[in-house]
């Protein structure tokens, strides 16, 4: 979660957040900030790819968009954002699973192995 305090209410179960972080964002703001990626976004040095389901109710789409936007605007690392329509918290449609795997392989080939990679075309009979 990019900003735990901003996720209070619209996304992740609030009772889980209270247990995980301790207290509410208004009673314990330091701990909520400490657990939020927003606090450390300027320190990111690794290329980042983000996948999000357009109908995710566990972690709101705005969380990944805020993280993506911050990384893009800071400009220190390559960043890519892929949103899957109709998907929730987890990618389930077969076509979307294929896209996700292709994107992951392409990303790791480029930023781990230093190679350009493209998926072979499938024959359609």
pLDDT digits (tens, 9 = 90+) for 43-84: 999 999 999 999 998 888 999 999 999 999 999 999 999 999
CATH code of the domain containing 29: 3.40.50.1820
121 falls within a domain: no
* Angle made by CA atoms 106, 86, 12, in degrees to the nearest 5: 90
Q: What does the pLDDT read at residue 8?
A: 79
Is-above-0.95 flag for pTM?
no
Is residue 107 in a domain?
A: yes
pLDDT above 60 (res 102): yes
- Write down the pLDDT at residue 125: 64
Residue 124 lies inside a defined structural domain of this protein: no
Q: Which of the two residues, 6 and 52, has the higher pLDDT score?
A: 52
Domain that holds residue 49: 5-111
Q: In total, how many domains does the chain have? A: 1
Whether 12 has a pLDDT exceeding 70, the answer reads no
């Amino acid at each position: 979660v990019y900003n735990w305090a901003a996720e209070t209410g619209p996304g992740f179960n609030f009772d889980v957040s209270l247990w995980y972080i301790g207290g509410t964002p208004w009673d314990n703001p330091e701990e909520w900030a400490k657990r939020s990626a927003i606090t450390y976004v300027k320190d990111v040095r690794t290329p980042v790819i983000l996948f999000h389901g357009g109908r995710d109710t566990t972690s709101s789409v705005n969380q990944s968009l805020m993280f993506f936007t911050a990384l893009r605007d800071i400009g220190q690392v390559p960043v890519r954002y892929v949103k899957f329509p109709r998907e929730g918290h987890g990618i389930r449609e077969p076509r979307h699973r294929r896209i996700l795997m292709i994107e992951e392989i392409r990303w790791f080939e480029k930023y781990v192995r230093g190679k350009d990679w493209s998926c072979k075309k499938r024959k359609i009979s």
